[in-house]
């Protein structure tokens, strides 16, 4: 069994849940974040306080949680023109993908993570990519990630594995997973201290957390929380964010 993992950790709900998942499984866990010229760097500013809160939450996690890495990928902002990196309204494009899609982002993130993991002697990468409840980003799909995992194993001659614990969970089930991993204190931490909103709004604290409440990311998070709170979280319901 693998003993160490590198978690792609942005400071959002999904990556924080993945981090808790990894801390429950691996003896040593390191974290990696990217600064790629996001329109809103709210998430990035929340990463370090979140890491410190996770350490406070659980003595075993405190022991397991190792180094944090933050890498500059500003070249991504330079070569992509999307609603996440430019001041543009969120909209659907002709190809059926929202303009929040940053082409190649996850492929690049995971490839860089693999290079870092190689250097750090880590053989598992954990990411919050998910097929179930998302906007259909092609680089979040299991098929894309399995292909990338094979390419990395071949190209780096390693046994590196890519774990995606949220792949088949909807948002309600992701809240439930946090509850299973860290109980009410972890759910409360994710509610108040993680960030999801595409518009970078913190503002009011809703029952599901901070955010504008109307962008696709907020809607998904809020609906998931309501379903979770109502006790109807289920695995892989096949629900998908409707376009627009
Ligand atoms: Zn929002």
* pTM score of the predicted model: 0.86
Consecutive sets of 10 residues in the chain, 244 residues long: mean pLDDT of each?
90 96 98 83 88 97 97 80 59 67 84 97 96 77 96 96 96 96 96 88 89 90 93 51 36
Q: Ligand 1: distance of its center to the CA of 219 in Å?
A: 7
Please give the distance of CA 155 from its chain centroid, rounded to a whole number.
25
Taking the centre of ligand 1 as the mean of its atom positions, its distance from the CA of residue 214, in whole angstroms, is: 5
Q: What pLDDT was estimated at residue 150?
A: 98
Residue 225 confidence (pLDDT):
95
Q: With H, G, I as helix, E, B as strand and everything else as coil, classify residue 74.
A: helix
Residues, Cβ < 5 Å to ion ligand 1: 197, 199, 211-212, 215, 218
Distance from residue 1's CA to the centre of ligand 1 (Å):
39
Q: Distance, CA 131 to ligand 1 centroid (Å)? A: 20
Centre of ligand 1 from the C-alpha of residue 138, in Å: 22
List the one residue out of 36, 1, 27, 5 whose CA is nearest residue 18: 5
CA of 195 to the centre of ligand 1 (A): 9
Query: How many whole angstroms from 61 Cα to the centroid of ligand 1?
Result: 30
The CATH number of domain 4-170, selected from 3.40.50.12160, 2.30.110.10, 3.30.70.20, 3.40.50.620: 3.40.50.620
According to the model, what pLDDT value does residue 240 have?
A: 39
pLDDT (0 to 100) of residue 104: 81
**What spacing in Å lies between the alpha carbon of 129 and ligand 1's midpoint?**
19
| 3-class secondary structure per residue, 185-233 | HHHHHHHHHCCCCCCCCCCCEECCEECCCCCHHHHHHHHHHHHHHCCCC
Residue 117 contacts residue 160 (beta carbons within 8 Å) = yes
């Amino acid at each position: 069994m693998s003993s160490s993992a590198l978690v792609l950790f942005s400071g959002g709900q999904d990556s924080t849940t993945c981090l808790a998942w990894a801390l429950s499984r691996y003896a040593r866990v390191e974290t990696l974040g990217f600064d790629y010229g996001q329109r809103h760097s709210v998430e990035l500013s929340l990463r370090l306080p979140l890491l410190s809160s996770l350490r406070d939450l659980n003595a075993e996690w405190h022991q397991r949680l190792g180094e944090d890495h933050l890498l500059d990928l500003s070249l991504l902002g330079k070569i992509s023109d999307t609603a996440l990196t430019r001041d543009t309204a969120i909209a659907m494009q002709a190809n059926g993908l929202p303009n929040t899609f940053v082409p190649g982002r996850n492929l690049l993130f995971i490839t860089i993570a693999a290079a870092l993991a190689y250097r750090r002697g880590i053989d598992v990468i954990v990411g919050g990519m998910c097929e179930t409840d998302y906007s259909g980003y092609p680089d979040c799909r299991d098929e894309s990630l399995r292909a990338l995992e094979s390419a990395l194993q071949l190209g780096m001659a390693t046994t590196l594995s890519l774990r995606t614990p949220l792949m088949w969970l909807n948002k309600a089930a992701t809240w439930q997973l946090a509850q299973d991993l860290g109980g009410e204190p972890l759910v409360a931490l994710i509610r108040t201290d993680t960030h999801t909103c595409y518009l970078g709004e913190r503002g009011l604290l809703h029952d599901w957390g901070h955010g504008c409440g109307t962008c696709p990311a907020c809607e998904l998070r809020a609906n998931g929380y309501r379903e979770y709170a109502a006790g109807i979280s289920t695995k892989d319901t096949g629900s998908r964010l409707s376009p627009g």
